[in-house]
A and B are shown apart, each in its own frame.
Chain A
């Protein structure tokens, strides 16, 4: 009775555990889906704002429910933490069983082998002893026990495929390990992006302020970054006739570790698909674009050059837009200076085509650069306390009448225009910039190790079958021996058939021998 109760309890537990895990798996899948369908802040914050703006209360409602930060949301985390707990709860007893089973003997031969899913029988003149010895030889590598029954019959019980459970446990534990390593990486890692001019521009991973954007993990405060510096000497892109990119390469130099003291630089060709790995961090070439070069000659003869990067608005033709801003020289009075700041905005085409007066870009390479610019003069709002974009001017200042458009013109390389106050603006061509990303993830090696173990465990547990075979040799009155073979696969029966057929053929092959 108590055995029955224990059995029921165990079955119930097994069922509930599996059910819970299954349900949680579904919840995880369901929870991950919105991340593929809705814009996500971690991928594109602008699109999220746009979506919220376009969808009114619905957008705000989704935002309140963290649907734009799915993978950092409370509910998604709750599901995977629960799944994690359920996995542990599932694995501990299984591991315990596993170690017990490692030492267990195969179960006794069932009374009626004909009931088994696989069954074969034959009779022979050989004695039971010979049959059993033959079986033992044939079943080498199987876990075996032999037995004797009351009527003189001899039996062999054999079982094989314990590696299946090993693989299964390796798979599940590696999954746990993967989850932990992934979470730790998210906590202690960071990702930063920065745009650097490709004519010797430098970047040092010495502080967060060097980055344009920086995404730290929860446990990163940005103080102890791995020290290294890079210098971008040159950038090369090649394109096919249709404008499709064929290759990107930035020739860089870097220094890390001892180089920082000695001041020596090492060259590296930075390409897509081949990041620089140094000082425990990785440096990627993410993108590139153009910086228009403007030379401004102010009425007092002072010359300033503007080298602000513009950003591509068309990824195929690399038509770009931006704003190059100037402070007037020699104006010590802040009030006065604010009235005479200059900004050049508009469109930059690396390979110009004009449709009438309208400029567009025909090709992504800088074959024939030109700009279509609006020049503004007045207060750029740099002191207004509002955040300023480096790619545009503050439209509020224009609306308030503090910033006025003073010229609009197309300029090809080398052309210039003169403003009403005698200021001359010349377009000198373009220079490349590259956008770089530095990534730091201290546990990604572990993620890889666990992933490989996941595959190995999965392969083993899905390809190996746990299976049993029994042999019973029963002596008959006439001196012959009836040999019965039964087989059972403890997992899916599919595929055991072929093996059993071969096995039973060998096990029953006494007639020929004796």
Chain B
């Protein structure tokens, strides 16, 4: 399987461009957050009514495509909208980078940690864009994009791998299924992770976090995205087990990555339970979700780079 070097180079360029675009978008969001006035009372009412259907999306500060831009837009508002536009552009460029990698190597473009990290961050950004249409949280975009930029930067430097075919152990359609599902679900889980951390900050009552949206909005955002990602993550783990049965001789063997995946699964399950249990809702649940987030990042870096398991693909030996 020859690798198309031209396409691979374009893929690298678009990747770099996406990182840069996300970076500027993050700056815009952070400026918006800095210039914006604290929460308007109106927003809070909308939220308390419990209905997304009630909210005039523009009033709630959420992005809507094709929205009639009113002339009296505040400076913060304009910055935020530019941020969103840039983020969308970044997504398009990043998708192009993945597609080019796939074309260059003629395989699914998630066969090593660099590619895997790109898919993961892409899923996180897209989830954020989708959710910020229904939740009035646009000005928090920076808090999602900053970790994304850091992850992508590390991915493109420390973890970078040249475009190449994958090892025999990875030549299976389960690569397509398992890794895409795992990375997309992990990427989605990035969002509730950030939301829960922000929830903890906001609900600490500190004046500095006064400009954040209501804690309740953050809580619902975290819950909704976790509820969406958790079954996906479960499917990803089970697909991994099915693959492991064919590739490694057993469906479960407590390989370090399997173990940490199991542990994060248990933690997210605990979050869902805590959220449904009186007395654990709110801050305890947010703590649990943040822990799940920390474990995910730990799995991504520590387990992949420091410990050696079967996931490090030292060939068949």
Interface residues of chain A, those whose CB is within 8 Å of chain B, are: 15, 18-19, 21-22, 25-26, 28-29, 32-33, 35-37, 40, 42-43, 70-71, 117-118, 182, 191, 240, 242, 244-248, 271-275, 282, 284-289, 312, 315-316, 318, 437, 439, 441, 444, 447-448, 451-452, 454-455, 458-459, 462, 491-495, 497-498, 500-501
Contact = CB atoms under 8 A, between A and B. Distances in A.
B195 to A, nearest CB: 13
Interface string B239-270: 00110011111111111110110110011011
B168 interface: yes
Contacts of B260: 33, 36
Given A29-B266, A191-B250, A246 B317 contact: no
B252 A182 contact: yes
Contacts of B51: 118, 497, 500-501
29 contacts: A18-B277, A25-B270, A26-B267, A28-B266, A32-B259, A32-B263, A36-B256, A36-B260, A36-B263, A36-B307, A42-B254, A118-B51, A182-B252, A191-B249, A245-B168, A246-B168, A272-B171, A273-B172, A286-B249, A288-B316, A318-B317, A451-B238, A452-B238, A455-B235, A458-B231, A459-B231, A462-B272, A501-B51, A501-B53
A271 B168 contact: yes
B75 interface: no
Interface stretch (B78-86, B137-145, B222-230): B222-230
B220 interface: yes
Given A21-B273, A29-B263, A498-B52, A289 B279 contact: no
Contacts of B53: 497-498, 501
A433 to B, nearest CB: 11
A238 to B, nearest CB: 9
Q: Which 7 A-B pairs have the closest CB atoms?
A: A497-B51, A36-B259, A287-B317, A36-B256, A29-B266, A272-B168, A273-B172
B316 A248 contact: yes
Nearest to B243: A273
B239 to A, nearest CB: 10
A285 B280 CA distance: 49
A332 B303 CA distance: 57
Contacts of B262: 32
Nearest to B167: A245
A43 B309 CA distance: 9
A40 B254 contact: yes
A33 B276 CA distance: 26
Given A247-B168, A458-B230, A458-B231, A493 B270 contact: no
A455 B238 contact: yes
B169 interface: yes
A244 B266 contact: no
Contacts of A284: 248-249
Contacts of A18: 273, 277
Contact of A272 (B169, B223, B274, B314): B169
A15 B278 contact: yes
Contact of A244 (B164, B234, B242): B164
Contacts of B238: 451-452, 454-455
B165 interface: yes
Contacts of A439: 249-250
Contacts of A282: 245, 249
Centre residue among A28, A245, A273 by max chain B CB count within 10 A: A273
B54 interface: yes
Given A32-B259, A312-B317, 5 more contacts: A35-B256, A40-B254, A42-B254, A273-B247, A462-B231
B267 A29 contact: yes
A444 B168 contact: no
B315 interface: yes
Interface residues of B, number: 62
A36 B263 CA distance: 10
Interface SS of chain A: mixed
A466 to B, nearest CB: 12
Contact of A15 (B245, B279, B316): B279
B50 interface: yes
A374 to B, nearest CB: 24
B164 A240 contact: yes
A437 B310 CA distance: 15
Please indicate which of the listed interface residues A29, A117, A444, A492 has the most CB atoms of chain B within 10 Å of its own CB.
A29
B169 A273 contact: yes
A284 B248 CA distance: 8
Nearest to B263: A29
A120 to B, nearest CB: 11
Contacts of A191: 249-250
B28 to A, nearest CB: 29
A25 B174 CA distance: 29
B266 A25 contact: yes
Contacts of A25: 266, 269-270, 273
A288 B316 CA distance: 7
A462 B246 CA distance: 30
Which of B266, B273, B276 has the largest count of A CB atoms less than 10 A from its CB?
B266
Contacts of B242: 448
Given A18-B273, A29-B266, A444-B245, A37 B307 contact: yes
Contact of A441 (B250, B256, B317): B250
Contact of B317 (A32, A289, A491): A289
B247 A272 contact: yes
Contacts of B169: 272-273
Most buried by A among B168, B174, B276, B303: B168
Contacts of B227: 462
Contacts of A316: 315
Contact of B165 (A15, A246, A285): A246
A271 B220 CA distance: 48
Contacts of B275: 492
Given A244-B167, A274-B246, A462 B230 contact: yes
A21 B280 CA distance: 13
B313 to A, nearest CB: 10
Nearest to B51: A497
Contacts of B317: 287-289, 312, 315, 318
A357 B169 CA distance: 36
Contacts of A15: 277-279
B316 A287 contact: yes
Contact of A29 (B54, B270, B273, B315): B270
Nearest to B245: A444
Contacts of B223: 492, 494
A36 B255 CA distance: 7
A35 B254 contact: yes
A40 B245 CA distance: 20
Contacts of B266: 25-26, 28-29, 32
A29 B1 CA distance: 42
A283 to B, nearest CB: 9
B133 to A, nearest CB: 14
Contacts of A498: 52-53
B50 A22 contact: no
A286 B223 CA distance: 42
B171 A247 contact: yes
Contacts of B273: 18, 21-22, 25
Contacts of A459: 231
A272 B253 contact: no
